[in-house]
Amino acid sequence: MITVENLPIDGSKLINTRVFNDNRGSFEVFWEQDLLKAKDISFAPTNAHHSYNSRTNTLRGMHFQKAPHGQNKLVSCISGKAWDVMVDLRADSSTFGKWHATELSAASGNAVLIPAGCGHGFITLQPNTTIAYLIEGEYIPDAGRVLRWDDTKVAIQWPCKDPILSEKDATAPDWEQCEF
């Protein structure tokens, strides 16, 4: 039980899976290779991460790895709620420079597939929000980059104007200085 919708950024998808509920809680399939393959999605994760965020309005992003070390990501919310954002940083893409956001929440059955070459970030909408990532592609520290979260060229319409940021995110370069 899986449906896949194309999102406005080239190659990005919203994946909806069935959530099974009973008196104990709920269960959902976050990723199953054969189900995605049947929907013409080739995705072979090589690592998995969790981002734990205790406070509302915690913003992480916009993170990516410089080409040719881009990573495909399947992102889901496993507790709380977040506003998940991607920005297309692929110069050869028809959606280059555009962004898209999807609200993700625990037990919703939704996940976002973000193509390699896109920056990714999110802001928490509730306390104690945990984001899960399945990532395809090797982590290369020297290829890691950050685009300024409030860059005026991209103009992401964040739901908070004064987020909680790391030093790295607060001092990230803007579009003109960022190395894609």
And the tokens for 17? 């899976």
Q: Is 63 a catalytic residue?
A: yes
Q: Is 139 a catalytic residue?
A: no
Active-site residue among 63, 69, 100, 139?
63
Active-site residue among 49, 52, 133, 139?
133
Tell me the C-alpha distance between 136 and 114, whole Å: 10
Rounded (5°) CA angle 99-101-106: 155
Task: Give which of 3, 20, 25, 41 is closest to 134, Cα–Cα.
Answer: 41
CB-CB contact of 67 with 145 (8 Å): no
Q: Which residues are known catalytic residues?
A: 63, 133
